[in-house]
Structure 1
Amino acid sequence: MAVALALLALVLAAVACVLALLTWRRVRPDGDLGVPPDLVGLRREVAALKAEAGGALRHLAVVRYDAFDEMGGGLSWSLALLDDGGDGVVLTSIRGRNEARTYAKSIAGWRSEQDLSPEEVEAVDHARAAG
């Protein structure tokens, strides 16, 4: 009797495995054991978002300094705002005793056609290293 029950259990287990395999192949007709299609689509979407975000201003750095000896507190600053390709702008505000001047210089490929001050170069270098 015990042998008959064991054989019956073995047959039922084999039938359950066959049914599970057939159901799985119906859900996955290609029979691919790799990444499910929904994850493939997700990976494509993430790659597209990464490519799109390459133009975002993600490399940022601020350098504060005293432009003049008579001023204190590091009220002058240079701010680099750059994308992954090193394109963007450096903004500089130089604070004097009676006035403040602001400058904007374009950056392409981590370089500028205009002369950069040492503080502006430092801001670009920090922004590049931060990314």
Structure 2
Amino acid sequence: MKGGGHLPVYLPWITENINGLVVTSLGLTLISTVLLIFIYQRFRKITAMYGDLMKGQEGRNLEELLLENQRVNMEASQRLTQLETAVTKLETESEEMVRHIGIVRFNAFENVGSDQSFSVALLNNHYNGVVISSLYGRELSQVYAKPIQKGKSTYLLTKEEEEALAKAINK
């Protein structure tokens, strides 16, 4: 026989072991079937996960979604940086704004009642600012302002101005 000269040598072995070959073939078929079922189940699970991931995206692919997400994150990061800068600026500016106020009303002159005169202390967080006093009289009213640095004035303060300053500092 041409090209098949070795077949007669194996033919007796095949016929002697046909039962084992059939069992082996069935075993391999069973293992292959189990593996195919396992792969199919994994494929269905991955397909379902992909469907959930893409739900509501109207045909957009994952790369488009990731690029859009990256763009949104960059914009949010830039906005956060802007907000941090603005907050730092506001914190610095707020240190100089009036934060502590003390006011005292009093009668500057004996013949005028109703505590129409006053002293008011307006201070920032460093206790810098001003004390303003208004002295009210029937025929004359006067307003004075005295600068305050670190809770002290280089000008002589009246009892009412000192009281207003103390109220502002102790708040």
Amino acid at match of 1:61: G
- Distance, in Å, in 2 between the alignment partners of 1:102 and 1:25 is 63
* Residue aligning to 1:99: 140
Aligned-pair distance for 1:4? 8.0
Question: Relative to structure 1, is the Cα distance of residues 45 and 9 closer, same or farther in structure 2, using a 3 angstrom cutoff?
Answer: farther
Identity %: 31
5+ residue gaps, structure 2, are 1-37, 55-61
Corresponding residue for 1:11? 46
Q: Secondary structure at the match of 2:151?
A: coil
1:27 and 2:62 matched:
no
Partner residue of 1:78 out of 119, 128, 147: 119
1:67 aligned partner: 108
Structure whose residues are more often helix by fraction: 2
Q: Report which of the two has the higher share of strand.
A: 1
Letter in 2 for 1:57: V
The alpha carbon displacement at 1:101 in A equals: 2.3
Q: Size of the alignment, in residue pairs?
A: 120
Gaps of 5+ in 1: none
- Tell me: CA distance 1:44–1:8, structure 2 relative to 1, closer, same or farther (3 Å): same
Q: Does 1:44 align with 2:44?
A: no
**Rg (Cα) greater in structure:** 2
SS at match of 2:112: coil
Tell me whether 1:57 sits opposite 2:98 in the alignment: yes
* Superposition TM-score, scaled by structure 1 size: 0.69
User: What value does the CA root-mean-square deviation take over the aligned residues?
Assistant: 3.3
Which structure ranks higher in relative contact order (CA pairs < 8 Å, sequence separation ≥ 6)? 1
